[in-house]
Amino acid sequence: MIDAPFGELAVGHRRVSRGRTITETDVVNFCMLTGNWLELHSNVEFAKSTLYGQRLVQGGLVFVVVNALLGFDPELIEAFYGVDRLRFVKPTFIGDTLYARTEVLRLADRGERHGVATLLLEGINQRREVVLRCEFSLLVRKERLAVAPPVPLEQA
């Protein structure tokens, strides 16, 4: 979502990513990765008795998937800076498809080589609902880093 050096970014610029459907496999994998098997996410019978009547997708999974959909070009981005005001606005269910939408909120110069870009990052589903919202900050280069091909073309 950062597709240009710091000096070429403009407040208000918006982008939408490709989508990814959250499957039952993803939900089980996230229970497995974290070791957190709250019945809201892992017990169908329990989930029937709750407000939504079905298992919810974990907020943490929504966050890391939306983050990854954002993309991250190492030639432009020096480092991940931080996250603020992360809120889960609506539930995500198994079978929902998530997209990342970004808007450049603030641009702060940080010297000769970098600036901090703060994005409004939203997770949006196929019903056009915003499910997650946060401010996501990245340290962006002022010049694209030329990465030499790791295995030279002619010699390998």
Single out the residue of 64, 68, 122 nearest to residue 90, CA to CA: 122
Instruction: Find the length of the chain.
Output: 156
Q: Within 10 Å of residue 78's Cβ, how many Cβ atoms?
A: 18
Provide, rounded to whole angstroms, the least separation between the CB of residue 36 and a copy of itself.
5
Residue with tokens 């981005």: 77
Judged by CB under 8 A, the number of residues near a copy of itself is 61
Q: Is 145 in the site for a copy of itself (CB under 8 A)?
A: no
Contact 91, 125 (CB under 8 A): no
Contact with a copy of itself (CB under 8 A): which of 10, 12, 25, 146?
A: 25
- Residue ranges that bind a copy of itself, judged by CB under 8 A: 14, 16, 18-21, 23-26, 28-40, 42-46, 59-60, 63-65, 67-68, 72, 74, 80-88, 95, 97, 99, 101, 124, 126, 128, 130, 134, 149-151, 153, 155-156
